[in-house]
C-alpha cells in the first residue's frame, strides 16, 4: 500500500496518524450529541486536524484528516463537523473525511454557525456568507463596515425562525432575518465590545459577554436587561448554562478562572480558580447533566462534575499534555509503548503510544513537597524547580526505588523521580562540599541495573550516587574529570566502563568501579552531546562544528563521521533494528 506525495511514491507506513500528547489549543471545543449512540462527543482542535473524544470515558474515537493550514475556528451540527482554515472551511463526515469545501471569503474566517441545512461563516473583514451545505452554493452574502460594526459573535436564538443575532466589537447588536435579508432590530449595547453570545434556557433570553468582564442577561424580544454580572478577571471568553434543573451560569476568563453565578439569587456562588493555566477557550454544560466540559491553550481538556452540596465543580476526567515546548523526550522501557517527556512548563509526563488511558503525569518538580503541604501554600511558583534539561531513566528497579534522574536548568542538584508512583522522588543529588552558585549539573546517566546515577557538572566534576540511598559513591579523577564543562556521561551495559565528554574537546574512558582513567582521546571539535547504544557499544557524539562522530567504545576508534547540519544539533536518538 503506497501513497503519492509531491511527485514521488512514499510508503503509507510513515503517514502521520495522530499527535501524541496534544489534546487542545486556543480554539473553543465543540460538543455534539449522537442520537444514534445516545452519548455526547467533544471535538478539540490540535493544529491542522481535530480529535473527537467520547465524553463518557474521554477516550479518543476519531482523528480527522489534516487540512493545509492551522484550523482557526470550528462548529458542528448533528451530522457534520465544520472547520475553517484561512479563508476556506470544510465539512467533515464521521469526524474524519472532508465531504464539502466552501470557498468564497477573501479574509480569514473566524466564526461559523450551523443553521439547519445552511451554515453561516464570518471573516475578519466582517463579510457574512450563508451557504447551502449540500450544494456548497452561496445563499446570501452580507457585508458590514468594519469601522461601524465589526462582527465578533454570532448566535441563532432558540425558536427564532430564520433569524440570527450578531454582536460587534463596537458594542452594538443586530438581529437579522436571513431569509428576507432584512435588519429587524439594532440593540445599542453597552458601549463595550461583545465577546460572547449564548442562548439562555429561557426563550427570548440571551447572555451577552463583554470586554469589560460583564455578562448581561438580556431579553431580546423586549430589549430589556434582566440582570448584570461582573467578574474582575478580564473579558468574558465563553458562557454556558446548566440545564439540569439548577439555574447556574458559568463564565470563562483569560486567566483560566471560571465564575459560577446563581441566576435566581443573582450572585456569584463559586469560583473555579486555575481551572486552566491559560485562558478558558471554551466551556459547555452538557444538556440535562451536571457536567461541564472545558478546554484551553494549556493543552488540556477537562470534564468537571457538580455533585457537591456547595455547587462547586470537581475534576472528573481530563486529558492533559505539556503546555510549553518540550526540552527532552525518551522512550521508557524496552517495549516502546511509553514516552517520557520533559517540558519548559516544569512537568515530567509519560505518553502511551497504545492508548491515552495509559498516559500519566509525574507532576511538577517541587523543591520541598513536605514543607509545601505542611504550610498549605497555594502559590507553588516559589518552590517550583526550573524546567528539566536532561534526564535518564531505567526500569530495572522501578518497583524498589526511584528509576529516573534529571538535571534542571541552572541548578546544581539533580532530582529523582518514581515512575510507578508518578511522583518526584526521595532525593536531590548534589556534592555536599560544593557551595558555589554558578556550578550546575549538565549531564546525567543511570546504570542499566538501576542502582547508580552518574552526574556531570559544569565545573568538570563527574560524581556517582546510589539511587536507593542517595549516598555519594565517589568521583572520577582526583579533583575533576575534565578541565571544561561536562557535555555527556555514559555507562556501558555491564557497569565496567564510564565515558565522559568535556567541553575542552576530550573524550575519556574510566573504570566504573575503581574510578581510574583508562584512556583519553582528543576530538576534532568540542562535543555538544553524547549518546551510547549499550547493546552494541556504539557511541554517538554531536560536535560544536555541527558534525556527528560515531565510535566503538571497545576499540576506541571513530567508525563514521557525518556532516551536513547547518546549525547546532539539539538531540540524537538510538534505534535498535530487528534483523
| Residue 227 pLDDT > 80 | yes
- Cell digits for 164? 440570527
Q: Within 10 A of 278 (CB to CB), how many other CB atoms are there? A: 17
Cα separation, 450 vs 212, whole angstroms: 56
Which CATH number belongs to the domain containing residue 506 in this structure?
2.130.10.10
Same domain, yes or no, for 511 and 370? yes
Asked if 468 and 451 touch (Cβ cutoff 8 Å), the reply is yes
Assigned domain for 10 exists: no
Instruction: Provide DSSP, 205-231.
Output: EEEEEETTSEEEEEETTTTEEEEEEE-
Same domain, yes or no, for 150 and 241? yes
- Cell digits for 350? 509519560
Asked if 15 and 5 touch (Cβ cutoff 8 Å), the reply is no
Tally of domains in the chain? 2
- Please name which of 461, 333, 342 lies closest in space to residue 403, comparing C-alpha atoms: 333
Please report which helix (H) or strand (E) contains residue 373, including its range.
Answer: helix 369-375
Asked if 282 and 251 touch (Cβ cutoff 8 Å), the reply is no
| Residue 578 pLDDT > 50 | no
Same domain, yes or no, for 141 and 198? yes
Assigned domain for 277 exists: yes
The confidence band for 426, taking pLDDT boundaries of 50, 70 and 90, is confident
Give the pairing type, strands 118-123 and 127-132.
Answer: antiparallel
Q: Which of 285, 320, 355 is the last residue of a domain?
A: 320
Assigned domain for 3 exists: no
Asked if 497 and 503 touch (Cβ cutoff 8 Å), the reply is no
Distance of CA 123 to the CA centre of its chain: 27
**Where does residue 284 rank: exposed (0-12), middle (13-18), buried (19+ CB within 10 A)?**
buried
Asked if 320 and 23 touch (Cβ cutoff 8 Å), the reply is yes
Q: What is the pLDDT of residues 93-102, one digit of tens each?
A: 999 999 999 9
Assigned domain for 576 exists: no
Same domain, yes or no, for 511 and 536? yes
Distance of CA 234 to the CA centre of its chain: 23
11 vs 106, residue with greater confidence: 106
Q: What is the pLDDT of residues 484-501, one digit of tens each?
A: 999 999 999 999 999 999
Cα separation, 219 vs 309, whole angstroms: 31
| Residue 391 pLDDT > 90 | yes
Same domain, yes or no, for 279 and 428? no
Mean pLDDT of 403-427: 92
- Cell digits for 167? 454582536
The confidence band for 363, taking pLDDT boundaries of 50, 70 and 90, is confident
Q: What is the pLDDT of residues 502-559, one digit of tens each?
A: 999 999 999 999 999 999 999 989 999 999 999 899 999 999 999 999 999 999 999 9
Q: Is 556 left (phi over 0), alpha (psi -120 to 50) or beta?
A: left
Assigned domain for 84 exists: yes
Q: What is the pLDDT of residues 4-58, one digit of tens each?
A: 444 445 566 666 667 788 999 999 999 999 888 889 999 999 999 999 999 999 9
Assigned domain for 12 exists: no
- Cell digits for 241? 448554562
Cα separation, 169 vs 148, whole angstroms: 9
Domain that holds residue 187: 18-320
Mean pLDDT of 185-195: 96
Cα separation, 369 vs 475, whole angstroms: 29
pLDDT of residue 2: 39
Amino acid at each position: 500500500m503506497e501513497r503519492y506525495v509531491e511527485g514521488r511514491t512514499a510508503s503509507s507506513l510513515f503517514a502521520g496518524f495522530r499527535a501524541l500528547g496534544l489534546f487542545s489549543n486556543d480554539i473553543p471545543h465543540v460538543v455534539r450529541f449522537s442520537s444514534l449512540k445516545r452519548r455526547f462527543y467533544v471535538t478539540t482542535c490540535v493544529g491542522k486536524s481535530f480529535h473527537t473524544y467520547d465524553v463518557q470515558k474521554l477516550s479518543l474515537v476519531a482523528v480527522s484528516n489534516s487540512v493545509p493550514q492551522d484550523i482557526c475556528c470550528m462548529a458542528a451540527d448533528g451530522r457534520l463537523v465544520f472547520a475553517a482554515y484561512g479563508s476556506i472551511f470544510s465539512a467533515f463526515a464521521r469526524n474524519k473525511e472532508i465531504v464539502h469545501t466552501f470557498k468564497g471569503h477573501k479574509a480569514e474566517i473566524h466564526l461559523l454557525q450551523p443553521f439547519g441545512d445552511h451554515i453561516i461563516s464570518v471573516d475578519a473583514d466582517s463579510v457574512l456568507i450563508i451557504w447551502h451545505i449540500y450544494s456548497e452554493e452561496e445563499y446570501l452574502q452580507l457585508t458590514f463596515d468594519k469601522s461601524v460594526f465589526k462582527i465578533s459573535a454570532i448566535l441563532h436564538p432558540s425558536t427564532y425562525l430564520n433569524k440570527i443575532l450578531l454582536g460587534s466589537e463596537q458594542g452594538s447588536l443586530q438581529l437579522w432575518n436571513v431569509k428576507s435579508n432584512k435588519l429587524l432590530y439594532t440593540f445599542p449595547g453597552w458601549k463595550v465590545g461583545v465577546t460572547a453570545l449564548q442562548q439562555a434556557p429561557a426563550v427570548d433570553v440571551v447572555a451577552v459577554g463583554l470586554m469589560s468582564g460583564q455578562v448581561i442577561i438580556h431579553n431580546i424580544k423586549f430589549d430589556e436587561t434582566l440582570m448584570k454580572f461582573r467578574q474582575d478577571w478580564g473579558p468574558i471568553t465563553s458562557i454556558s448554562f446548566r440545564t439540569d434543573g439548577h439555574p447556574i451560569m458559568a463564565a470563562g476568563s483569560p486567566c483560566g478562572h471560571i465564575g459560577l453565578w446563581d441566576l435566581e439569587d443573582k450572585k456569584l456562588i463559586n469560583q473555579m480558580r486555575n481551572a486552566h493555566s491559560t485562558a478558558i477557550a471554551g466551556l459547555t454544560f452538557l444538556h440535562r447533566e451536571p457536567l461541564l466540559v472545558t478546554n484551553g491553550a494549556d493543552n488540556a481538556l477537562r470534564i468537571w462534575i457538580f455533585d457537591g452540596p456547595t455547587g462547586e465543580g470537581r475534576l472528573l476526567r481530563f486529558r492533559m499534555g505539556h503546555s510549553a515546548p518540550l526540552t527532552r523526550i525518551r522512550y521508557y522501557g524496552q517495549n516502546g509503548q511509553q514516552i517520557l517527556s520533559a517540558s519548559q512548563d516544569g512537568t515530567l509526563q509519560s505518553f502511551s503510544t497504545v492508548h491515552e488511558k495509559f498516559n500519566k503525569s509525574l507532576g511538577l518538580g517541587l523543591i520541598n513537597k513536605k514543607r509545601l503541604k505542611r504550610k498549605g501554600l497555594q502559590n507553588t511558583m516559589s518552590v517550583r524547580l526550573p524546567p528539566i534539561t536532561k534526564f535518564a531513566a531505567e526500569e530495572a528497579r522501578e518497583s524498589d526505588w526511584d528509576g529516573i534522574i534529571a538535571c534542571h536548568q541552572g541548578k546544581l542538584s539533580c532530582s529523582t523521580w518514581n515512575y510507578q508512583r508518578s511522583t518526584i522522588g526521595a532525593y536531590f543529588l548534589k556534592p555536599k562540599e560544593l557551595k558555589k552558585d554558578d556550578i550546575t549539573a549538565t549531564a546525567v546517566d543511570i546504570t542499566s541495573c538501576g542502582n547508580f546515577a552518574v552526574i556531570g557538572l559544569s565545573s568538570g566534576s563527574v560524581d556517582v550516587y546510589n539511587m536507593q540511598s542517595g549516598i555519594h559513591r565517589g568521583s572520577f579523577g582526583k579533583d575533576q574529570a575534565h578541565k571544561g564543562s561536562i557535555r555527556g556521561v555514559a555507562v556501558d551495559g555491564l557497569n565496567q566502563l564510564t565515558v565522559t565528554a568535556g567541553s575542552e574537546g576530550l573524550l575519556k574512558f574510566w573504570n566504573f568501579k575503581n574510578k581510574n582513567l583508562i584512556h583519553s582521546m582528543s576530538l576534532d571539535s568540542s562535543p555538544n552531546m553524547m549518546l551510547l547504544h549499550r547493546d552494541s557499544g556504539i557511541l554517538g557524539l554531536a560536535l560544536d562544528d555541527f558534525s556527528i562522530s560515531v565510535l566503538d567504545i571497545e576499540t576506541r576508534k571513530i567508525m563514521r563521521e557525518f556532516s551536513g547540519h547547518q546549525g547546532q544539533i539539539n538531540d540524537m536518538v538510538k534505534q535498535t533494528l530487528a534483523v
